[in-house]
Chain A
Amino acid sequence: MKHIVQFLLAFVISFQFLVTGSAKASASEIDIDLMKFIEQTNDSLGSNLMMNNQADAIEDSEMLRELLLMVEEHFEVNSLNNQALKISNQAVFISNDLRASLYMNDVEKAKKIHVSLSENCQACHKIFE
């Protein structure tokens, strides 16, 4: 599974190389593709948790944490919205917690934390309604 992903990432990067400069979102707006990717990762994580696929859930939680760090970074750099920054700090905190509980083999706890994390997404979106 990991190999396929890495192969694809490499493929996508070279593709990106060819089209460099064609797509760059403005500095203050959050990237919608990033958000869509976050959503897919979050859904996949939810599914893997329900099916008790611990290894895949760990992989998703690692990825999600990375992505949420990017969201946090976005709101740090474009410090336009204090409330969103605070929520993104929380998001990172919660995703750390989730990941830790998976490493400690506590899938049931991870499921509960996943609900909180999904609520955190909504809390941030509410600001931008």
Chain B
Amino acid sequence: MIDSKRQFLRALGLGASCSALNGFIPGMGFMSTGFANEVASLGEIGLHHESKIDSVIWLHQNGAPSSMDLFDYKPYLHEMDGQDIPEHFLQGVTTSSAGGIGKLYVDPKRTWKQYGKSQAWFSDLLPNLAECADDMTFLRSCKTVGATHSISILKMNTGELRPGRPSLGAWVSYALGSRNSDLPPYVVMYNRTQPRAGTPNWSAGFLPAMHQGTAFLPGESPILYLQRPDLVSTAQQHSALSFLKEFDSKNPNYQYDTELQARLRTFGLAERMQQAAAQVVDVKNENEETKQLYGIDDPISGSYGQVLLRARRLVENGVRFVHVISGHPEGDASIVDWDAHSNLPKNHTVMAGMVDKPIAGLIKDLKARGLLERTLVVWAQEFGRTPWGESGNGRDHNPYGYTQWMAGGGLKKGFSYGATDEIGLNILDPNTAVDTYDLHATVLHLMGLDHMKTTFVHNNRAERPTVNFGKVVHDVLI
């Protein structure tokens, strides 16, 4: 019976090659796949279980820092500096980027120390963050797929290697809605340049369009056109918007047109933001001590510090998901992100110098205000870097094993989960692997959401944030 069934399938051309199946979708029968039949949303999801946190600050370290130069200390790598990589480390490793495999490399100037009760190792590149060791939860067995930044960044934010799926922040907005109707639930910020692969990274994908991230610009006026033009009075503006709302909601397609709904919601939100948001993003009135804590007075860390101080203010005011993409300091045009294919010591000195004080400041500030217990700070990166050198003192991309960390509510503090091998190339135990989907599942879990039940019906299919994957990393939870 089974054999005949297989023969049957084979006769279809499966196992050989056949294009006649185009249009046949398992579980759905035959239909034109080009027709996107938008099915009404299942509605906002709401909490599946008690939440540990109210907000997430997702700190994407753009360009991929080297874990083994920051907080994944590898004494054996130091011993092996300048030598060929022993064969057994290379099992399952394909070098897909141009660099090939060079000699193992360590920066001779790097020094390492242990910090806090947890005795976590930090290099001299992160002296301020090191003071937060006992508030941090390290995921030392992260892995992903892809060898180019754009692809792996998309996966890190949306769970898919191609543009089109909703980002994690959009899922949170969709599932839990807003905590403050005067501010968008999902805000995106960056210092200096527009990040690689851009807006698809904070897209709503197939979710209703209003869940996409609202991008705030770097600098003193992060929200463009926030001020009402002088010639329009408050009353005039309000009545124009009311008319528009009434007119549009009578459109027979209104209930299906999520773009239109999003636009109207945005107008309403924008009107309310004129009052609320301007104050929230304005960091001028923060006291000097706070500004120093975030490194705002320093030209290297200033722009990133300003963004993180803004992130705290947004979280304090009920924004659920703040997505921050690291940019670069003003000045040296040769360093735009963490992507150190050559001269890693110089690149990482600048980049770590940019983020170290601001991130440490953010954690300390959140803690002092009692907000850290209800907030999750995530250090996220698209992949790690190789233990071997590229062009002498650079490092290539490494999706096989790297470190990310979290700090905040619901987590075991000063705790490390998983490990990489002795040179920091591969995950030591595949059973401890933390893929991007697992990180997403864990973040959602802390927000009170079960990733398996956070679903949206699109093209007659139930979709979830973790695609077909995702396991909560229970070992890091209290």
| B partners with A | yes
**Chain A: residues with CB nearer than 8 A to chain B?**
1, 4-5, 8-9, 12-13, 15-16, 23-25, 31-34, 37, 40-48, 50-51, 56, 59-60, 63, 66-67, 69-70, 74, 111, 114-115, 118-119, 122, 126-127, 129
**Is B233 on the interface with A (CB-CB < 8 A)?**
no
Task: List residues of chain B with CB within 8 A of the CB of A42.
Answer: 468
The CA-CA distance from A37 to B13 in the complex, in Å, is 11
- Could you write out 7 A-B pairs with CB less than 8 Å apart? A12-B21, A16-B18, A40-B26, A47-B461, A47-B463, A51-B455, A70-B9
Which residues between 1 and 53 of chain B lie within 8 Å of chain A, taking CB atoms?
2, 5-6, 8-21, 24-30
Task: List residues of chain A with CB within 8 A of the CB of B30.
Answer: 4, 8
Asked if A44 and B20 make an inter-chain contact with CB atoms under 8 angstroms apart, the answer reads no
**Is B90 on the interface with A (CB-CB < 8 A)?**
no
Asked if B452 and A44 make an inter-chain contact with CB atoms under 8 angstroms apart, the answer reads no
Asked if A33 and B13 make an inter-chain contact with CB atoms under 8 angstroms apart, the answer reads yes
Asked if B468 and A118 make an inter-chain contact with CB atoms under 8 angstroms apart, the answer reads yes
Asked if A44 and B25 make an inter-chain contact with CB atoms under 8 angstroms apart, the answer reads yes
**Is B74 on the interface with A (CB-CB < 8 A)?**
no
**Is B287 on the interface with A (CB-CB < 8 A)?**
no
Task: List residues of chain A with CB within 8 A of the CB of B26.
Answer: 37, 40-41, 44-45, 60, 63
The CA-CA distance from A66 to B4 in the complex, in Å, is 11
Interface string of B89-107 (1 = CB under 8 A from A): 0001010100000000000
Asked if A70 and B12 make an inter-chain contact with CB atoms under 8 angstroms apart, the answer reads no
The CA-CA distance from A122 to B455 in the complex, in Å, is 23
Q: What residue in chain A is nearest B14 (Cβ atoms)?
A: A34
The CA-CA distance from A24 to B12 in the complex, in Å, is 12
Interface string of B440-478 (1 = CB under 8 A from A): 000000000000110101000111100111110000000
Asked if A31 and B15 make an inter-chain contact with CB atoms under 8 angstroms apart, the answer reads yes
The CA-CA distance from A44 to B24 in the complex, in Å, is 12
Asked if A119 and B14 make an inter-chain contact with CB atoms under 8 angstroms apart, the answer reads no
The CA-CA distance from A58 to B96 in the complex, in Å, is 39
Asked if A70 and B10 make an inter-chain contact with CB atoms under 8 angstroms apart, the answer reads yes
Task: List residues of chain B with CB within 8 A of the CB of A25.
Answer: 16-17
Interface size class of B (residues with CB under 8 A): 35 or more
Task: List residues of chain A with CB within 8 A of the CB of B223.
Answer: none
Asked if B15 and A60 make an inter-chain contact with CB atoms under 8 angstroms apart, the answer reads no
Q: What residue in chain B is nearest A25 (Cβ atoms)?
A: B17
Asked if A56 and B27 make an inter-chain contact with CB atoms under 8 angstroms apart, the answer reads yes
Task: List residues of chain B with CB within 8 A of the CB of A33.
Answer: 13-14, 17-19, 21
Nearest Cβ on chain B to A123's Cβ, whole angstroms: 9
The CA-CA distance from A73 to B166 in the complex, in Å, is 37
Asked if B25 and A31 make an inter-chain contact with CB atoms under 8 angstroms apart, the answer reads no
Q: What residue in chain B is nearest A41 (Cβ atoms)?
A: B26
Asked if B468 and A115 make an inter-chain contact with CB atoms under 8 angstroms apart, the answer reads yes
14 more contacts with CB within 8 A, not counting A42-B468, A115-B468, are A4-B29, A12-B12, A16-B11, A33-B18, A44-B25, A44-B27, A45-B26, A47-B463, A50-B453, A56-B27, A67-B14, A69-B6, A74-B15, A119-B469
Nearest Cβ on chain A to B339's Cβ, whole angstroms: 21
Nearest Cβ on chain A to B153's Cβ, whole angstroms: 19
Q: What residue in chain A is nearest B452 (Cβ atoms)?
A: A111
The CA-CA distance from A45 to B26 in the complex, in Å, is 9
Asked if B8 and A9 make an inter-chain contact with CB atoms under 8 angstroms apart, the answer reads yes
Nearest Cβ on chain B to A32's Cβ, whole angstroms: 7
Q: Which of B15, B29, B30, B96 has the most CB of A within 10 A?
A: B15
Asked if A16 and B9 make an inter-chain contact with CB atoms under 8 angstroms apart, the answer reads no
Nearest Cβ on chain A to B28's Cβ, whole angstroms: 7
Asked if A12 and B2 make an inter-chain contact with CB atoms under 8 angstroms apart, the answer reads no
Can you list the 10 inter-chain pairs with the closest CB atoms, starting with the nearest? A44-B27, A118-B468, A50-B462, A23-B17, A47-B461, A41-B26, A44-B26, A47-B462, A4-B29, A46-B468
Task: List residues of chain B with CB within 8 A of the CB of A46.
Answer: 462, 464, 467-468
**Is B264 on the interface with A (CB-CB < 8 A)?**
no
Task: List residues of chain B with CB within 8 A of the CB of A60.
Answer: 26-27
Nearest Cβ on chain B to A27's Cβ, whole angstroms: 10
The CA-CA distance from A23 to B467 in the complex, in Å, is 32
Q: Which of A4, A16, A56, A118 contacts B469 (CB 8 A)?
A: A118
**Is B176 on the interface with A (CB-CB < 8 A)?**
no
The CA-CA distance from A70 to B386 in the complex, in Å, is 37
Nearest Cβ on chain B to A77's Cβ, whole angstroms: 10
Task: List residues of chain A with CB within 8 A of the CB of B468.
Answer: 42-43, 46, 114-115, 118
Task: List residues of chain B with CB within 8 A of the CB of A9.
Answer: 8, 12
**Is B270 on the interface with A (CB-CB < 8 A)?**
no
The CA-CA distance from A118 to B471 in the complex, in Å, is 12
